[in-house]
Amino acid sequence: MESRHQAKETTPTRSARRESSRRTVRGWVRWLSNVLQLQSAAPRGARPHWRRLVVPASLMGTLLLSGCSLTQKKVACELEYPLAAEGEPSYRAHGSTIEHVCLDNVTAPDVQVSQEPRNLHRRVDDEVREITLHDAIVQALSANQVVESSAFRGLATKVVLTNPAAVTTVYDPAIQESGVLFGRRGLDAALADFDTRFNSSLTWGREESRLNGAGGFGLSAETSNFTSSLSKSFATGGSVSVFNNWNYLGSNAAGNLFPSSYSGSIGTSLRQPLLAGSGVDFTRVAGPVNPAFGSLTGVSQGVVIARINQDVTLADFELAVQRGILDIENAYWDLYLAYRTYDTAVAAHQSAFQSWRETRTRFEAGVLTEAEELQAQDRLYETKASVELALNQLYQNEVTLRALIGIPLNDGTVLRPSNEPTTAEVVPTWELALTDGLTDRVELRRQKWQIKSLQLQLNAARNLVRPRLDAVGSYAMNGFGDRLLGQTVIDPGTGLPIHTGMGSITNDDNTSWTLGFEMSMPVGFRQARSQVRNYELQLARANAVLATQERAIAHDIAIGIQDVTASYEAAQTSLKRLRAARARVPLVEAGLNQNTTLDLVLRAQASAAAAENSYYQQLVQYNKALASLQLATGQMLNYHNVSLAEGPWCPEAYCDAQLRADARQNAFCNPYLETQPPEFVSPGP
């Protein structure tokens, strides 16, 4: 009853609101009609025509600007629908939500064919696949498109997942070479500034007006404009333009020779900077001067800077390849060590199991105590846990190597290193290693390219601390006629030939030329001097970084030599310990029936297993130290016979190269030639 009473009270309220809205609308319409009738009833001469429209236009504009609704906006609870639908509301309650992109991509084939990884609960006898270190490196270089510095650093911490833009790929050099943005322009984009540019436009128009004179004569004119030009920039900083412009005018103005006429010109213009922005040295570093973008581009848009940026990108790629090979070699030896550790753990477990069986038999015979039997059992389970952990570590190291060399996670085979670690002593020479490091380290070559780039940009910036003085000139042949094309006709009144627009260019001597100078300069050169100072500071910083890099390389080589010598000596000591521990075990086991206690036997077995693990750990560490020393001296790629080369060109490029090579080979030597600007690139360090 209460709900019905509330419903009855709601109905009159809604009806009253609707009736009030209708009355409001009718009032506005009635008032607007009265206003319009008053305006129309007024005498025509009482006010101008435009004033009669001011009030109605203002009222209509007010109504339009106020919105479509003249009443109070309805709320959701006041709306009534004939068929009430139930369920989720058909609108989005949030502006930002997590969404997924619709992308037509295919999952990587390596992921699709991968089987369930091996683990302690899934032990299968898969086929053993022997792999050498050379084969692993070749597989990685041929299969991987993304070079990762390490495969595993924990879950969801790989660089390719956390920062995809920071990884190095085989596409990076090509991306840099084809770049078009400011600061990272490629060679083609820098050369595009010197491409010939064609501009053209064609427009039509008509204009009608009245003259301020007796009779108010009406003046009409039909116009058409056509312009076309070819422009090109030079390596000296100048530019040339060839243009062809035509204007059509059809007018009824009194005094015109022709009711319609064509006027135009064909000519050329030239501009050459003499001070700021002039010279090949400046243009090849900064590119052609563009006043519209001078403060944005700086002096780093030239061909030479683009080529240096390409060399820097190649150095980054080479550095990533070196580190990738080092990670592959470390993962290879880690897998070798995992196999050795697993074999040692299995052997220790078998020895512990045999000792526990003998202890169990003697305990049941009453020879040994229960504590000694439990001690043997403790050792048994300890070795079993070591076997399980060693096997799991083997699985993980095998997956790590697979990830680095770019093969599926599990393809039904088990990788096993076939190379044995180096056991021969390597005695590095400090002077030779330091010379190799300071000569072949990619980091130094990259930094030297940066310094050379800053030196060139500094010289270009100093070029701009001068006024802008340009020599300008133009020459054009002008034409005029009542027709654009056609035959020459004779004027019956004067008997003189009347040429067409194009014909008058070649027959009439109507020319125009300009020659002079244009000069502009900011008073004080504040921005130009600030730019010079900035490049001076950047160059000083780059030189300081280079000196620090050289010291860091010397430290890396010193630490590498120390690691090599220390790991070799530790491996030799561990080998002696292993021999002693292995010789001790049978002696202790033989005296178990006499005066030797079980504790000594178990200790001897554990010591032998620990000595074997220590030896192989030091041996693997020795080989890792040799690899790190190769990286520190810059000989990593040379040691593994890896070289970097660009991909094939199109066949036409090889034909052009052969033609130019033949021309140079069959040319005569000119002893007076001198390269300007001087070269700063050499094929070797």
pLDDT in tens, 408-419: 888 888 999 999
Check if the beta carbon of residue 317 is closer than 8 Å to that of residue 173: yes
Q: Which among 673, 464, 448, 642 is positioned nearest to 550, based on CA atoms?
A: 448
What is the rounded distance in angstroms from the CA atom of residue 321 to the CA atom of residue 111?
24
Q: How many domains does the chain have?
A: 4
Q: For residue 469, which phi and psi values (nearest 5 degrees)?
A: -120, 115
**CATH number of the domain bearing residue 630:** 1.10.287
Give the CA diameter of the chain.
151
Residues 600, 545 within the same domain: yes
Residues 551, 621 within the same domain: yes
What is residue 199's three-state secondary structure?
A: strand
Residue 208 bridge partners (DSSP):
220
Between 117 and 283, the higher pLDDT residue: 283
What is the rounded distance in angstroms from the CA atom of residue 373 to the CA atom of residue 211?
127
Residue 86 lies in a domain: no
Question: What is the per-residue DSSP string for 212-236?
Answer: SSTT--EEEEEEEEEEEEEEEE-TT
Return the pLDDT at 106: 81
Locate 585 and state its tokens.
């075990």
Residues 441, 473 within the same domain: no
Q: Which among 578, 612, 571, 555 is positioned nearest to 426, based on CA atoms?
A: 571
Residues 516, 538 within the same domain: no
Residue 606 lies in a domain: yes
Q: Which among 200, 203, 198, 208 is positioned nearest to 247, based on CA atoms?
A: 203
Residues 516, 534 within the same domain: no
Per-residue pLDDT band for 645 (boundaries 50, 70, 90) equals confident
Its pTM stands at: 0.80
Residues 440, 409 within the same domain: no
Residue 456 lies in a domain: no
Residue 112 lies in a domain: no
The alpha carbons of the chain give a radius of gyration, in whole angstroms, of 45
Check if the beta carbon of residue 535 is closer than 8 Å to that of residue 454: yes
Residue 679 lies in a domain: no
By the 10 Å C-beta count (0-12 exposed, 13-18 middle, 19+ buried), 548 is classed as: exposed
What is residue 634's three-state secondary structure?
A: coil
Return the pLDDT at 155: 57
**CATH number of the domain bearing residue 142:** 1.20.1600.10
Identity at 27, one-letter amino acid code: G
Return the pLDDT at 185: 87
User: With 80 as the cut, is the pLDDT of residue 194 above it?
Assistant: yes
Residues with Cβ < 8 Å from 104, sequence gap 6 or more?
A: none
* Sign of the CA dihedral running 392, 394, 396, 399: negative
What is the rounded distance in angstroms from the CA atom of residue 641 to the CA atom of residue 467?
55
What is the rounded distance in angstroms from the CA atom of residue 55 to the CA atom of residue 39?
9
Q: What percent of the chain has pLDDT above 70?
A: 81
Residue 55 lies in a domain: yes
Q: What distance lies between CA 180 and its chain's CA centroid?
A: 12
Check if the beta carbon of residue 279 is closer than 8 Å to that of residue 463: yes
* DSSP H/E element including 272: strand 260-273
Residues 485, 611 within the same domain: no
Residue after which a domain boundary falls, among 59, 75, 97: 59
Residues 322, 375 within the same domain: yes
User: With 50 as the cut, is the pLDDT of residue 244 above it?
Assistant: yes
What is the rounded distance in angstroms from the CA atom of residue 559 to the CA atom of residue 625?
10
Return the pLDDT at 12: 47
Residue 546 lies in a domain: yes
- Residue 677, preceding peptide bond in cis (omega within 30° of 0): yes
What is residue 259's three-state secondary structure?
A: coil
What is the rounded distance in angstroms from the CA atom of residue 539 to the CA atom of residue 252?
69
Check if the beta carbon of residue 476 is closer than 8 Å to that of residue 266: yes
What is the rounded distance in angstroms from the CA atom of residue 602 to the CA atom of residue 584?
12
Note down the domain range covering 265.
197-293+468-520
pLDDT digit string, tens, across residues 132-151 = 999 999 999 998 889 876 64
Residue 202 bridge partners (DSSP):
226
Residues 349, 395 within the same domain: yes
Q: For residue 425, which phi and psi values (nearest 5 degrees)?
A: -80, 130
Q: How far is CA 343 from CA 390, 487, 506, 615, 627, in A?
A: 9, 104, 98, 13, 25
Question: What is the per-residue DSSP string for 499-518?
Answer: --HHHHHHHS--EEEEEEEE
Residues 269, 326 within the same domain: no
Per-residue pLDDT band for 646 (boundaries 50, 70, 90) equals confident
What is the rounded distance in angstroms from the CA atom of residue 391 to the CA atom of residue 388?
5
Q: How far is CA 54 from CA 58, 59, 62, 68, in A?
A: 6, 9, 12, 22
Residues 504, 553 within the same domain: no
- Residue written as token pair 């090579």: 661
Least confident residue range of 291-305, 307-321, 471-485, 556-570: 291-305
User: With 60 as the cut, is the pLDDT of residue 10 above it?
Assistant: no
HSE-up (13 A, CA, CB side) for residue 46: 8
HSE-up (13 A, CA, CB side) for residue 398: 26
Residues 287, 338 within the same domain: no
Q: How many CB atoms lie within 10 A of CB 23?
A: 10
Per-residue pLDDT band for 239 (boundaries 50, 70, 90) equals very high
pLDDT digit string, tens, across residues 31-54 = 666 655 544 444 444 445 545 555
